[in-house]
Structure 1
């Protein structure tokens, strides 16, 4: 009897867009139904684009480090990744972003802590797409679809 092969699972890429909702205010959306409010600095309940960039980096670090950390610490470990960095407003860039991963590793001896942190750092360096993109730089294009 021949073994049946299943068709490969293909997932359509997630579409992302923002829609203007007010003066200097947008809602970011995904085709998966997620939403995030984006606005100028100081607007309550909304992120600035720069804050979203930083959150994306911290989230990517968290997701990239989750597997090695859970293998060693168990599935219920607590972690917080803080990210900071001031904008250079003259050039409109963030010249440096600093991340701090907060973990309780008190149950591990010094050698085990060091091994785990090296493993986590390697995992982040290998699979954190946001961090890798920021470190490498990326080409960004802009085009327009207008009604004329």
Structure 2
């Protein structure tokens, strides 16, 4: 059984047609929905979570050596609809990172591939969960 320190959760509340607000335990809120008017969809949030988790890992491991001049990450995937249902496949993360010239920039550039590999192979909870195929269950509360 997971301890309270290890348990993670968010609550979702409907705020309108095709619109939800996610709230975390610290009171942060994020609005998303069907993608109308430029908003994020759940699939885009999943891609952002995968990329964000990895980007934060890589940034922490490299920026202590040199502040990046550019740090961008593009996350892409193909949406598939088949007999197994809707899903994403071929999720890719492409880093666009530039460090300054000089010794510290060289050290950060040298660490970059290892940092990305460490995030992918061990550190990023989000992509590790997706790749390992963690089951998702659901239930209805008594008031549903």
Query: TM-score w.r.t. structure 1 length?
Result: 0.77
Counterpart position of 1:145:
141
1:134 to partner: Cα distance: 1.2
Unmatched segments (≥5 aa) in structure 2: none
1:29 to partner: Cα distance: 0.9
What is the aligned length?
136
Counterpart position of 2:94:
100
Instruction: Identify, as 1 or 2, the structure richer in strand.
Output: 2
- Paired with 1:145 and 1:51, the residues of 2 have a C-alpha distance of 28
Q: Output one character per residue of 1:39-72: Cα deviation in whole Å (capped at 9) or x when no partner.
A: 113x125211000000001110111112221132
- Paired with 2:87 and 2:66, the residues of 1 have a C-alpha distance of 37
Higher gyration radius (CA) = 1
- Larger RCO (CA under 8 A, 6+ residues apart): 2
Give the SS at the match of 2:78. coil
Match of 2:116 among 116, 121, 124: 121
User: What is the aligned-residue RMSD (CA, Å)?
Assistant: 2.6
- Paired with 2:60 and 2:109, the residues of 1 have a C-alpha distance of 17
Query: TM-score w.r.t. structure 2 length?
Result: 0.79
Unmatched segments (≥5 aa) in structure 1: 1-9
